Amino acid sequence: MNTNKIFARVFRLFRRFKPKKNRVTLIEKLDTGGTGSLFALRRECERQRLDYEFHVIRQKDYELSLSNLPGLIRLFTVKTYYLATSSFVFLNDNFMPMAYMDFDPSVVIVQLWHGMGSYKKFAGSFEKDPAMLDLIRAVNRQVTCILASSENIRDNYAEAFCVPRDRVQALGCPQADFYFRKHDTDRWREVICRKYPAMKGKKWILYAPTFREDEARDRDLLTHFDFSAFLRELGEEYCLMVRLHPQIHGDEVPDGVIDMTGFPNIRKLLCMTDILITDYSSITVEYALLNRPILLYAFDQDWYIRRDRGFYFDFEQTAPGPVLKTTEDLIRTIKEENWDLAKVEAFARLHNDFFDDRSAERIVNHFLRPTE
């Protein structure tokens, strides 16, 4: 059963109705818990008191299960009607039913993407299956504009989404606005420390690896990190947190390490983090905006470049911090504070043209602000 085609058939039934000028649909294909760029746009419209009605299609809406039967019914009726009669559609991922849909020519469809910048390759840049590439092309033929955070990455986005370069515009990334606003991080930390008292008075390190396309490697991911040695050597001064990508099928986080995988707002967590340890995750681009130490734990770097995703830019030449292969290297680097924040800044500027909290405003004004 091809649910994408079924969704498209239902959509075509509602296409007889004309799009409403003030109706907007947000398609949250990748679940952000309401914290990403899509919802930053909605909040900006509310701030400007613009007269738009927003409707949201969430990832959980099209979960095929008996428990979600009411959600599926609503998706294939009310929500499809709202989508078919929206004048504006914003997405944060490729929405595959669009390959079989035909929107009214007046509808503006904007891809915001959920990952900021242009770090590891994605979508059409690494996909080898011809059928999937055809699907990506068909989806993005419908898209009016794909937004990027920098002029430097327009070619990469054009390749990833299989569109001409002129369909990619560098207007900023709304979810990045969060990092340029004042927050009471001390209060946030106090709330977390009530739940995890051992974190109080320590510096916070977050280990946030991304997934591997190879599921077996995915399952073994945490076995490559010597948590015992890390806690033994650094546990007095530092608290170690782990946040796993939703697609990782790894083991449970060991005792003594704080599991932040379920923490609802990744941006709040990054703002509270003193040092980020990651590998090839796109959150590297976001964390670089804070100009704090980033350590790249790339124990499988050669395999990742050769067999998995690879990168748009030279991994080591543009790295925002030390590239390390063992837990011992990590421990030594942290003890010696052996990092260079100038590299973090250079990395941030490679992927971003905007260092302010006005990306959502720019995009709303460009697409949704009524012309006088």
CA distance 341 to 287: 12
Calpha distance 234→4 (Å, rounded): 50
Q: What is the pLDDT of residue 128?
A: 86
- 60 and 156 together in one domain: yes
302: part of which helix (H) or strand (E)? helix 301-307
Q: Please tell me which residue, 240 or 371, carries the higher pLDDT value.
A: 240
Sign of the C-alpha dihedral, residues 268, 271, 274, 276?
Answer: positive
Tell me if 157 sits within 8 A of 118, measured CB to CB: yes
- The residues near 9 (Cβ < 8 Å, ≥ 6 apart) are 100
Can you tell me the mean pLDDT for 38-56? 96
Give every CB contact of residue 198 below 8 A, 6+ residues apart in sequence: 239
Regarding whether 197 and 133 lie in a shared domain, the answer is no
Summarised one tens digit per residue, pLDDT across range 168-189 is 999 999 999 999 999 999 999 9
What's the average model confidence in pLDDT over 238-242?
96
Q: The whole model's pTM is what?
A: 0.92
- 338 with 307, same domain: the answer is yes
Residue at token pair 């907007």: 24
Please tell me the total count of domains within the chain: 2
Residue 9 lies in a domain: yes
Q: What are the tens digits of pLDDT across the range 114-145?
A: 989 999 999 999 888 999 999 999 999 999 99
Confidence of residue 54 (pLDDT cuts 50, 70, 90): very high
pLDDT at 1: 60
Most confident of 13-22, 29-38, 70-79, 123-132: 13-22
pLDDT value for 248 = 66
The pLDDT score that the predictor gives to residue 138 is 96
Please answer whether residues 326 and 146 qualify as being in contact, where contact means their C-beta atoms are separated by less than 8 angstroms. no
pLDDT for residue 247: 64
Q: How much of the chain exceeds pLDDT 90, in percent?
A: 77
State residue 249's pLDDT score.
Answer: 59
Identify whether residues 107 and 202 lie together within a single domain: no
pLDDT of residue 210: 86
Q: Are residue 147 and residue 268 in the same domain, yes or no?
A: no
Contact 367, 88 (CB under 8 A): yes
Are residues 117 and 208 both part of a single domain? no
372 pLDDT higher than 60: no
Question: Looking at the structure, do residues 270 and 336 belong to the same domain, yes or no?
Answer: yes
pLDDT of residue 251: 65
Question: What average pLDDT does the segment 319-337 reach?
Answer: 96
At 64 the pLDDT is 80
Same domain as 16, residue 161: yes
Are residue 202 and residue 274 in the same domain, yes or no? Answer: yes
Burial class (CB in 10 A: 0-12, 13-18, 19+), 144: middle
CATH number of residue 251's parent domain:
3.40.50.12580
CA distances from 280 to 176, 355, 358 (A): 19, 23, 27
Q: Is 372 within the bounds of a domain?
A: no
Does residue 326 sit within a domain? Answer: yes
Q: Tokens for 170? A: 């560098």
Q: How confident is the model at residue 311 (pLDDT cuts 50, 70, 90)?
A: very high
What CATH number is associated with residue 128?
3.40.50.11820
Q: Which domain holds residue 124?
A: 3-178+357-367
Query: What confidence score (pLDDT) does residue 68 get?
Result: 86
